[in-house]
Amino acid sequence: MENKKLNILFLCSWYPNPDEKSNGIFIKRHAQALSLKHNVTVLFVKSVSNIREVVSITNEVQNFKEYLYFYPKINSTLPLISSIQKFLKFKKEYRSAINKIPNADFDVIHLNTIFPAAIPALYALKKYPEAKLFITEHWSGYYSEDGNYKGNVMIYYTKKIVAKAKAVFVISEKLRQSMLKHGLKNSYRLINNVVDTDVFKPLYNQSADNSVLKILHVSSLVEREKNISGIISIARKLKENNKKFHLTVMGENNLEIKDHLKLTEQYNLTDEISFTGYKQAEEIAISMNNANVFLLFSYFEGMPVVVLESIACGLPVISTDVGEVKNMIQPGMGIVLNTNSIQECVEALLNYKRENFSGKDQMHQSIKQNYSSEEVCDQVTQLYNLYT
């Protein structure tokens, strides 16, 4: 395969879709990065709300193709029957989508986030027997703190597909160790997520207001992972310390947003905290340039792209020590907290001074050198070549 322009099929369990606009955006960026040197075809199939028949979307930009298929959700009041119906429908629709790919001849099948796309990946391997299988895993379900790697179907398909892969790429050392503890033996390699350094960069026409500490948080707002209640509690402590600040929380989570708003009202913080909902990358980049500090207070993570994007914009980060964060936040780029202590984080924010951190251009260049599309494309290409 060395120095050859490969035909790569990306099969995805997560990908941006009508129900979850930012879900798996990091997978899309990996695909786009690889298309700088290879032909990449992305296939994603999912049930979504508010449709009555299959909707297909095709996008093509140079070496990058997307085939997206969305089908109506199955609604049943009988949980067991519903689960079986959903499984069979997913399998059928994904297999059908694989068969519709025009002029297909793939050198690599790259599975992104193992379950449930492992199911159609096994079919794709039979259809393209010459293709080499690689896996990139992002999911935190293997972590003991998460604990969602369970159920006979998931475990069966995960073990079966991992055994067939040439290598498994992961975005944190902790994820590698967690998967090995579950008996998922393979050759593991750490790879970087991609940052769009053309979008996430210092914008010098934007000026942060230093009279008020502007704190930014961007995530899925999932409480059990992102600890939004902890972030709101930090804001409460800042107010008790008479700190002038404003916290902007970006992200879409229709299931949990009511709880976050309720806690904000309970702590009398409606003037100090704004929830903006979903924002496009360009809007997030502007907000990062307007902020003074980015705050991540998660219980667990892999390689949170939003931390890299913040640093790329020249925005220092304060974060708990989760996933790869300690390796991502280089000296002068932010603060990695020793504990999950709210008080420790509050003290870091009370003592925050921008002049204690590196300049914006230096921060941007550090991300560009390690996480740009070109750099990640080269990194993954070298791994393809190593294992074939």
Kindly report, residue by residue over 364-373, the tens digit of the pLDDT.
999 999 999 9
Over the range 26-49, which residues count as b (16 or more CB within 10 Å of their CB) and which as e?
bbbbbbbbbbbbbbbbbbbbbbee
Residue 205: pLDDT above 80? no
Please give the average per-residue pLDDT across 369-383, as a whole number.
97
Phi/psi of residue 298, nearest 5 degrees = -70, 155
Pairing of strands 213-218, 245-250: parallel
| Fold classified for 7-193+372-386 | Rossmann fold (3.40.50)
Mean pLDDT of the chain: 95
CA distance 285 to 290: 9
| Cα Rg of the chain (Å, integer) | 22
The model's pLDDT over 64-104, given as tens digits with 9 standing for 90+, comes to: 999 999 999 988 778 888 899 999 999 999 999 999 999 88
Q: Does the global pTM surpass 0.85?
A: yes
- Cβ–Cβ under 8 Å, residues 135 and 170: no
Residue 175, token pair as written in the block: 């994820």
The domain ranges of the chain are: 7-193+372-386, 213-370
Report pLDDT for 78: 84
- Cβ–Cβ under 8 Å, residues 335 and 226: no
9: helix, coil or strand?
strand
274: helix, coil or strand?
strand
Report pLDDT for 241: 97
CA distance 202 to 337: 25
Residue 41, token pair as written in the block: 């075809």
End-to-end CA distance of the chain: 7
Report pLDDT for 351: 97
Q: Angle CA(171)–CA(193)–CA(65) in degrees, nearest 5?
A: 120
Domains 7-193+372-386 and 213-370 share a fold: yes
323: closest CA among 121, 16, 26? 26
Within 8 A by CB and 6+ apart from 129, the residues are none
The model's pLDDT over 234-286, given as tens digits with 9 standing for 90+, comes to: 999 999 999 999 999 999 999 999 999 999 999 999 999 999 999 999 999 99
Report pLDDT for 211: 84
Residue 92, token pair as written in the block: 């059928």
279: closest CA among 356, 320, 219, 321? 219
Share of the chain above pLDDT 70, in %: 98
Share of the chain above pLDDT 90, in %: 92
User: In CATH, what number does 213-370 get?
Assistant: 3.40.50.2000
CA distance 131 to 298: 38
272: closest CA among 259, 281, 263? 263
Percentages (nearest 5) of helix, strand, coil residues in the chain: 40, 20, 40
165: closest CA among 104, 96, 118, 115? 118
- Cβ–Cβ under 8 Å, residues 144 and 178: yes
The model's pLDDT over 303-325, given as tens digits with 9 standing for 90+, comes to: 999 999 999 999 999 999 999 99
Residue 3: pLDDT above 90? no
- Cβ–Cβ under 8 Å, residues 113 and 137: yes
Pairing of strands 7-12, 334-336: unpaired
- The position carrying tokens 């550090």 is 366
Please give the average per-residue pLDDT across 125-148, as a whole number.
96
Report pLDDT for 209: 63
189: closest CA among 5, 321, 379? 379
